[in-house]
Amino acid sequence: MKTMKLIYPLAMALAVTLAGAGCKHQPTKMTNLPASPAAPVGEIQPTPTFPGGNPLPPPEPTPNFTAISQPIVPGGLTTSTNWDPANMVEDRLALAIDTVHFAFDSAVVKDAEQAHVKAVADALTSDPNVKLMIEGNCDERGTEEYNRSLGERRALALREALAKLNIDPQRVRTISYGKDKPADPGHTEEAFSKNRRGDFVLYHPKPGA
């Protein structure tokens, strides 16, 4: 079942690409290559199929999808959400390996961390029912309320990075702990670098809900 879930969006993407290519290029190819042997470009009516040949079910609209019409800039997304963590089941382990780390006093998501962001986006894409909490954290080298704002900006920067991968921001909440929740209680550079982070926590629907 899990394999199916992963393949489904891939197949859909392929199908949509083919359909788009067909419509777009049909008149051009008909005009420019009148004598070419029956390249049935215009006749393809692609029916999405699984690799085994069975037809795909009709696509379902993604729940609560918010169209993103403008480029996402820092601070460009409201924190509006459509779910309450109190009504869902917390899963801290699912994305524990995808914690993103930040440079000192920075809320910029580094290129080297994009693989983690992508993995989180994939988890949200493969299961439309799950929601995400991003926890922003800081090292102790900053004042308390300064760090509370910095932690929030880090969490929001990750939320913006996910939105660029077409994750509906309404599925994603942020919380800043400032420096109140260090991953490593030490006072070394090594501990500090572990503490400047965004943790991803998945939320599943309550059974039967």
Partner 1 sequence: MNKCFLNPLTTCLAAALMLATAQADPSDLVVSKLLPVPGNTKPILVSLSGFSGEGLDVLKFDLYVQGFGFTTPEAAQYQISGSDAGNVTGTLTDRVSGKPLFARSYSGTGLRRQAHYFANDIVLAVMQTPGIGLTKIAFKRELAPGHGEIYVSDFDGHDPAALTHDDTIVAAPCWVPGRMAMYYTSYYPGNPDIFYHSLSTGQRSIVARYSGLNTAPAASPDGTRLAMVLSRSGSPNIWVANADGSDPKKLTSNTEDSSPCWSPKGQWICFATKVRERRVLAKVPAGGGEMQVIPTSGHPSPSEPDWSPDGKWIAFTQQTLSGFDLCVVPADGGNAVVLVPGEDPSWSPNSRTLVFTRRTRGYNYALSVLDVMTKQVKDIQRTSGNDSQPAWAR
Q: Which stretch binds partner 1 (CB under 8 A): 6-14, 54-62, 136-144, 194-202?
A: 136-144
Q: Which stretch binds partner 1 (CB under 8 A): 31-39, 124-132, 143-151, 192-200?
A: 143-151
Does residue 164 bind partner 1 (CB under 8 A)? no
Among residues 95, 100, 109, 156, which is the contact residue for partner 1, using CB under 8 A?
Answer: 156
Which helix (H) or strand (E) element contains residue 137?
A: strand 131-137
Cβ neighbours of residue 90 under 8 Å, at least 6 residues apart? 133, 201, 202, 203
C-alpha 43/C-alpha 93 separation (Å) is 49
Select 173 or 197, whichever has its Cβ closest to partner 1: 173
Select 124 or 203, whichever has its Cβ closest to partner 1: 203
Does residue 67 bind partner 1 (CB under 8 A)? no
Query: Please, what is the minimum distance in Å from the beta carbon of residue 93 to partner 1?
Result: 19
Cβ neighbours of residue 103 under 8 Å, at least 6 residues apart? 110, 196
DSSP-derived letter for residue 143 is -
Supply 44's token pair.
Answer: 């393809």
Select 48 or 139, whichever has its Cβ closest to partner 1: 139
Q: What count of other Cβ atoms lies within 10 Å of the Cβ of residue 132?
A: 24
Does residue 148 bind partner 1 (CB under 8 A)? yes
Quick check: 150 and 113 in contact, CB under 8 A?
no
Burial category of 190 from C-beta neighbours within 10 Å (exposed 0-12, middle 13-18, buried 19 and up): exposed
C-alpha 144/C-alpha 170 separation (Å) is 28
Among residues 48, 131, 142, 158, which is the contact residue for partner 1, using CB under 8 A?
Answer: 142
Residues 69-108 that bind partner 1 (CB under 8 A): 74-81, 85-86, 107
Select 114 or 149, whichever has its Cβ closest to partner 1: 149
Among residues 48, 100, 162, 176, which is the contact residue for partner 1, using CB under 8 A?
Answer: 176
For partner 1, the binding residues (CB under 8 A) are 74-81, 85-86, 107, 141-146, 148-150, 152-153, 156, 173-178, 180-182, 185, 187
